[in-house]
């Protein structure tokens, strides 16, 4: 099956050489470029914001998949849209008015994603299925790269059932601890977009393409 997408997380790349890292990961076969925005409030770390994403934008044509781990997200959505995000994913736990923020993302002409922390139940999706283009099931607690995969296959399968019932074209993404060892079960459960940071980047630039194709074949 080749209809899965790999979204390398630039969180694990060499930040001193962003332009080249983007070009390398693009050439290596990345489908989406996953950009982890952390605020030191919703999650423990601080990473980068819209100005850095804007600076990255000219160096690849790939889809910018922006994962906002920020609370609140609403005041910053327009900045990320203007910076060149294609998909903007917010966390279900971060904004009080989730429905409104998803509408805001759509009104800016962007695809809207909703992320669920490992403990967040899937019924939060009930009234937003018509607004989301991507559902992100977190397979780690957000905030750090390099954590161990939490097996949530039942949850992934539940979300897949909801997507099929909706009849809409919605990506089911997982993020955290994705390797050649863990991707298989998540894929069998119905995920189709896989974020991978540590696994793709840890052995250096010469291995990026092999890592991506290994994930696709696993
Ligand atoms: C975690 C981030 C992830 C992270 C994944 O909060 O959302 O995207 O970079 O990294 P790995 O693949 O190392 O678990
Ligand atoms: Zn992420």
Show Cβ contacts of residue 176 under 8 Å, excluding neighbours closer than 6 positions. Answer: 138, 139, 140, 141, 142, 147, 149, 150, 195
Distance of alpha carbon 75 from alpha carbon 55, whole angstroms: 21
DSSP 154-197: HHHHHHHHHHHHHTS--EEEEESS--TTTHHHHHHHT--EEEES
pLDDT exceeds 50 at position 180: yes
Report how far ligand 1's centroid is from the alpha carbon of 45 (Å): 12
As residues whose CB is below 5 A from the ion ligand 2, the structure lists 36, 67, 175
Show Cβ contacts of residue 40 under 8 Å, excluding neighbours closer than 6 positions. Answer: 46
Distance of alpha carbon 192 from alpha carbon 80, whole angstroms: 24
pLDDT exceeds 70 at position 12: yes
Tokens 């139940």 sit on residue: 121
Tokens 């920020």 sit on residue: 70
The atom of ligand 1 lying closest to the CA of 198 is 13
Half-sphere exposure of residue 155, counting CA atoms within 13 Å on the CB side?
A: 21
How do residues 73-124 score in pLDDT, each as one tens digit?
A: 999 999 999 999 999 999 999 999 999 999 999 999 999 999 999 999 999 9
Mean pLDDT of the chain: 97
What's the pLDDT score for residue 1?
A: 43
How do residues 152-175 score in pLDDT, each as one tens digit?
A: 999 999 999 999 999 999 999 999
Distances (CA, A) of 164 to 106, 137, 168, 194: 21, 16, 7, 19
Q: Is 36 a catalytic residue?
A: yes
CATH number of the domain that residue 48 is part of: 3.20.20.70
pLDDT exceeds 50 at position 3: yes
Mean pLDDT computed over 36-47: 98
Q: Which domain holds residue 75?
A: 5-217
Catalytic annotation, pick one of 39, 65, 171, 175: 175
pLDDT exceeds 70 at position 2: no
| Residues at CB less than 6 angstroms from ligand 1 | 9, 11-12, 34, 36, 67, 140, 142-143, 145-147, 175-178, 195-199
Report how far ligand 1's centroid is from the alpha carbon of 53 (Å): 17
Q: Rounded to 5 degrees, what are φ and ψ at 91?
A: -90, 140
Terminal Cα-to-Cα distance of the chain (whole angstroms): 10
Distance of alpha carbon 59 from alpha carbon 27, whole angstroms: 11
pLDDT exceeds 80 at position 9: yes
Total domains in the fold of the chain: 1
Share of the chain above pLDDT 90, in %: 98
Report how far ligand 1's centroid is from the alpha carbon of 125 (Å): 23
**Nearest protein CA to atom 9 of ligand 1, as residue:** 145
**pTM score over 0.95:** yes
Task: Name the DSSP class of 150.
Answer: P
């Amino acid at each position: 099956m080749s209809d899965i997408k790999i979204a390398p997380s630039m969180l694990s790349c060499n930040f001193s050489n962003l332009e080249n890292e983007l070009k390398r990961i693009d050439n290596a076969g990345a489908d989406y470029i996953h950009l982890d925005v952390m605020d030191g409030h919703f999650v423990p770390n601080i990473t980068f914001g819209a100005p850095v994403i804007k600076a990255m934008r000219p160096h690849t044509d790939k889809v910018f998949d922006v994962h906002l781990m920020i609370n609140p997200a609403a005041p910053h959505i327009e900045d990320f849209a203007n910076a060149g995000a294609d998909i903007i994913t917010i966390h279900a736990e971060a904004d009080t008015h989730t429905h409104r923020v998803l509408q805001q993302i759509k009104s800016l002409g962007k695809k809207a994603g909703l992320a669920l922390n490992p403990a967040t139940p899937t019924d939060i999706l009930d009234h937003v299925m018509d607004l989301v283009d991507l559902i992100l099931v977190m397979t780690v607690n957000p905030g750090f790269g390099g954590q161990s995969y939490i097996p949530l296959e039942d949850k992934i399968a539940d979300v897949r059932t909801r997507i099929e019932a909706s009849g809409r074209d919605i990506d089911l993404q997982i993020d955290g601890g994705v390797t050649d060892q863990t991707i298989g079960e998540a894929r069998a459960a119905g995920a189709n977009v896989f974020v991978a940071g540590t696994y793709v980047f840890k052995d250096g630039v010469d291995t990026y393409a092999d890592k991506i194709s290994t994930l696709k074949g696993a």
